[in-house]
Amino acid sequence: MSHPVPILLMARALSAGGSERQMVELALALAPAEFTVHVGCFEAYGVRAAELEGRGIPIVRLPVRSFRSPRALRAAWMLGRYLRRHRIRLVHTFDLPLTCFGVPVAWLFRVPVVLSSQRAHRGLQPELRRLVRFTDRLVDGVVVNCDAMRRHMIEDEGVDPKLLHVCYNWIDTQVFRPQPKLRSGAFAQASVVIGVVCVLRPEKDLITLIEAFAQVAHIAPGLVLLIVGSGSMLDTLQVRARELGIFPQCVFQPEVSDVTPWLREVDIFVLPSRTEALSNSLMEAMACGCAVIASRVGGNPELVTDADTGLLFEPGDLKTLAEKLGTLIRDDSLRAKLGARAAGAIRQRFDRQAMLRRIEDVYRSYPPLAEERFNNEVTQPRQLTSEEENRPFRHYSFKQKVTFWISENLFQHFTYTVRHGLIKGMKRKGGLGWVPQRLTGSRTREEKFWSSLDLRGKVVYDVGAFHGVLTLFFASRCAKVVSYEPNSINHARLLKNLQLNGLENVTVRKLGVGDRTQRGTLVFMPLAAGGGSLEDKTVEQMKRFGASVTTEAIEITTIDQDIEHALMPPPDFLKIDIEGWEIEALRGARKTLERCRPALFLEMHGETIAEKKRKVAELVAFLNQAGYGDILHVETGTAITSENTETAKEGHLFCPR
């Protein structure tokens, strides 16, 4: 029997804003048999809080008012403990403040899937822009609510398109639907009501709406301007309305939890924003059959087709807005036609159930959630979608990054005696090696494999030697080691480690290994110099994970060439770990493989599952052609053939002599 997956949805507050409403509706709508929903926020009060509490959805309040306050650190620790205690498997943030706070904490506490949202232009909160850009390197995906935001994230923020998921906002068309105008209370004598529902912030540019209304207020008796919302611009708007002499015709209504009664009073809905993503209030007004006028920014043109489902104008164009208002005030039939078409378009394109299925599919698309969901069921392995197979891996865990930083910044100048693992008792300068396994006292399957080998009297090639952990291990057990390490930093460290241990049976070659002799450019991160590669795409991949990138010109040889011309002894055992160039190294060793048939140990590399599967299949085909019939997957002990190459997409391959 399967269990629901615990997930945490996060927003700054539980007020009436669009992002908050979308988050709360998602929390209420996700299938309880599949997801156990928790909600996190800085302010656990507001019009949406009661809806969550009424459904028994737990809310964790994080007392953060400033990221610079010590309370923020306490809140981060509080959130981390909550994530651990409730075994949260996915965190999804819905606004910038919670993205800046929640994403790093979720990443530090190793939540399997971390998603953020981008629902507005990042220029609106410039003080958070650098921090939120940093979080782009930590998340597994970014959910955007329209194509305009997708373009913004790619073109302006440099986010990898593969990380982006377009999930449009949704509308419950059973709630938001055309109904007769109420015309009650302050609107009893109104002929035409012009309205807007939004947070009263400068970017909404409601000053332009008030000034445009002032220009058309004389066209017909009984015109009313309705502004529903709260925010910092309220006083400014009221002052301007008084200056223009239209304050008696204006109704200012603070934010409400249910906007439908107010939208039923509105004949013409105007959204004059200078920046916008996909406006919930615009969608709701269209669904209610209002004739809409919107600025031509962000996602507005994705909602409104000019002169068909509404009217568009350039942001800040007061004259054009006033003209379009005048046209709709005078023409009842045009208002009715635009309103009917708008409602039909929303019903057809933004149905609530379809959009909810889309976000659920995004959650399910991440393998860690799929594994959690089905971990107690006996099922056949699920066929991965093309999107899943081509999603980039998050290369380094928090523990690995801490290890790299400690290794390169604290220990690089220290010489110490290794107390655990393969080279126990040997001396080493800098670096910590396989720290997580040593600290826990356990060994990886790879370490167990190496310990089981009998290398007495053998010649071993260590292709991709890094700092020399395996070179030291091999040298202590075999007759001769030939190590290849082209990176200058690693090469110097390797020589020093050999000197510290007085090992003289090692020849170190400062060369790369490939399928032909050439010059190449090695790309690597100083923080983790062992992750260098000769693949062109590596630079962008490394930058995406937040690393500074260094390049170095290197000489590349082939194993066949080195044996023939440099008089290197032929290998009995060939270990290759060169970040995706394993097949090239093998092609450059074809004669050696045919003549000497050394045992092979190969590490699997690839930026995506699809790429790993392709490379494994390519390796297996090459090895079979070279006469290696026995190919074993080190981690599972499974025999690998052309029929089951997917089994070996993670880990290492071993081919005995």
Residue type present at position 635:
E
Residue 509 is predicted with a pLDDT of 94
Are 615 and 606 in contact, with CB atoms under 8 Å apart?
Answer: yes
Are 607 and 613 in contact, with CB atoms under 8 Å apart?
Answer: no
The torsion angle over the Cα atoms of residues 81, 82, 86 and 92, rounded to 10 degrees, is -120
Domain ranges of the chain: 5-170+353-373, 185-350, 411-603
The C-alpha atoms of residue 270 and residue 296 are separated, in whole angstroms, by 12
Average pLDDT on 629-636 reads 86
Are 314 and 296 in contact, with CB atoms under 8 Å apart?
Answer: yes
The upper half-sphere exposure of residue 357, i.e. CA atoms within 13 Å in the direction of its Cβ, equals 5
Local structure of 308: helix, strand or coil? coil
Mean residue pLDDT across the chain: 85
The C-alpha atoms of residue 335 and residue 283 are separated, in whole angstroms, by 16
The upper half-sphere exposure of residue 497, i.e. CA atoms within 13 Å in the direction of its Cβ, equals 34
Beta bridge partners of 293: 270, 311
Average pLDDT on 418-436 reads 69
Q: Could you tell me the pTM of the whole model?
A: 0.56
Q: Tell me the two tokens of residue 333.
A: 């039939």
Structure-token match 């000489």, residue found: 555
- Residue 616 reports pLDDT greater than 60: yes
**For residue 1, what pLDDT band results from cuts at 50, 70 and 90?**
very low
pLDDT tens-place string over residues 281-326: 999 999 999 999 999 998 999 999 999 999 999 999 999 999 999 9
Average pLDDT on 562-577 reads 91
Put residue 332 in one of left, alpha, beta given phi > 0 → left and psi -120 to 50 → alpha.
alpha
Topology agreement, domain 185-350 and domain 411-603: yes
Residue 415 is predicted with a pLDDT of 79
User: Which CATH number applies to 411-603: 3.30.1490.100, 3.40.50.300, 3.40.50.150, 3.10.129.10?
Assistant: 3.40.50.150
Q: How far is CA 223 from CA 195, 217, 259, in A?
A: 11, 6, 20
The torsion angle over the Cα atoms of residues 440, 443, 446 and 447, rounded to 10 degrees, is 120
* Distance, CA of 536 to chain centre: 22
pLDDT tens-place string over residues 125-173: 888 888 999 999 899 999 998 999 999 999 999 999 999 999 988 888 8
Share of the chain above pLDDT 70, in %: 84
Are 536 and 553 in contact, with CB atoms under 8 Å apart?
Answer: no
Domain 185-350, second-level architecture: 3-Layer(aba) Sandwich (3.40)
Average pLDDT on 403-412 reads 55
Number of other CB atoms surrounding residue 466 within 10 Å: 23
Are 2 and 373 in contact, with CB atoms under 8 Å apart?
Answer: yes
Q: Tell me the two tokens of residue 558.
A: 């082939």
Residue 549 is predicted with a pLDDT of 66
Structure-token match 């959805």, residue found: 57
Beta bridge partners of 533: 523
Q: Between residues 269 and 1, which one has the greater pLDDT?
A: 269
Burial string for 351-380 (b: 16+ CB within 10 Å, else e) reads: ebeebbeebbebbbbbeebbebbeeeeeee
- Residue 280 reports pLDDT greater than 90: no
Are 196 and 228 in contact, with CB atoms under 8 Å apart?
Answer: yes
Spell out where 79-121 has E strands.
90-93, 113-118
| Cα angle 388, 137, 602; round to 5 | 60
Q: How far is CA 43 from CA 11, 48, 177, in A?
A: 9, 11, 31
Residue 401 is predicted with a pLDDT of 55
Residue 369 is predicted with a pLDDT of 65
| Count of helices and strands (H, E) across the chain | 26, 26
Structure-token match 């078409």, residue found: 341
Three-class HEC string of 442-476: CCCHHHHHHHHCCCCCCEEEEECCCCCHHHHHHHC
* Distance, CA of 354 to chain centre: 23
Are 166 and 117 in contact, with CB atoms under 8 Å apart?
Answer: no
Burial string for 430-449 (b: 16+ CB within 10 Å, else e) reads: bbbbbbeebeeeebeebbeb
Residue 352 is predicted with a pLDDT of 77
The C-alpha atoms of residue 655 and residue 630 are separated, in whole angstroms, by 6
The C-alpha atoms of residue 648 and residue 657 are separated, in whole angstroms, by 20
Residue 366 is predicted with a pLDDT of 84
Number of other CB atoms surrounding residue 70 within 10 Å: 8
The C-alpha atoms of residue 519 and residue 332 are separated, in whole angstroms, by 75
Residue 170 is predicted with a pLDDT of 81
The C-alpha atoms of residue 56 and residue 109 are separated, in whole angstroms, by 26
The C-alpha atoms of residue 398 and residue 436 are separated, in whole angstroms, by 11
Average pLDDT on 179-207 reads 92
Structure-token match 């493989």, residue found: 593
DSSP string, 350-404: -BHHHHHHHHHHHHHTSHHHHHHHTTTS--PPPPPPHHHHTSPP----HHHHHHH
Residue type present at position 549:
V
Place domain 5-170+353-373 in its CATH homologous superfamily: Glycogen Phosphorylase B; (3.40.50.2000)
Local structure of 572: helix, strand or coil? coil
Are 606 and 391 in contact, with CB atoms under 8 Å apart?
Answer: no
